[in-house]
Amino acid sequence: MVVRTRFRAILIPLVLYVVSGAVGSYFIWHVQHGQRGLEAKVAYKEKLRGLQAELDDLKGERVRWERRVAMMQTDAVDRDLLEEEARLELGRIQKNELVILLPPSHN
């Protein structure tokens, strides 16, 4: 009887500590690695930075296009812009001109 009482006195707290440790470990692991954990938060912030940079680029491009459209909509069309668009569309140049094609810039 004395042995069983000592065995229970040691075993019951030990089992409670192990179960408590397992439950705590489960929650700690999910705080770090879970779907809404710390690592996911860092990944979301990085993705947000990338999307914000893309949005800024697109806003700049939109401003450039709006400026070009505004030049084309006025009564007096900008001759340089008209000539540039016509040459791009028709693919023609004059005899004494040299054409250097550059990749489109994103500025």
Q: Report whether pLDDT(106) > 80.
A: no
**pLDDT average, residue stretch 84-104:** 73
Tokens coding 78:
């900008």
Residues 26 and 43 in one domain: no
- The pLDDT value recorded for residue 67 is 85
Q: Which domain holds residue 71?
A: 38-90
Sequence letter at residue 4: R
Residues 29 and 48 in one domain: no
- Per residue in 76-90, pLDDT (tens digit) is 777 777 777 777 777
Residues 42 and 82 in one domain: yes
- Per residue in 30-60, pLDDT (tens digit) is 999 988 889 999 999 999 999 999 999 999 9
Domain count, the chain: 2
% of the chain with per-residue pLDDT over 90: 41
In a domain, 105, yes or no: no
User: Residue 78: which residues within 8 A CB-CB, separation 6 or more?
Assistant: 71, 72
Would you mind telling me the total number of residues written for the chain in this entry?
107
Residues 43 and 26 in one domain: no
Sign of CA dihedral 14, 17, 19, 21: negative
In a domain, 103, yes or no: no
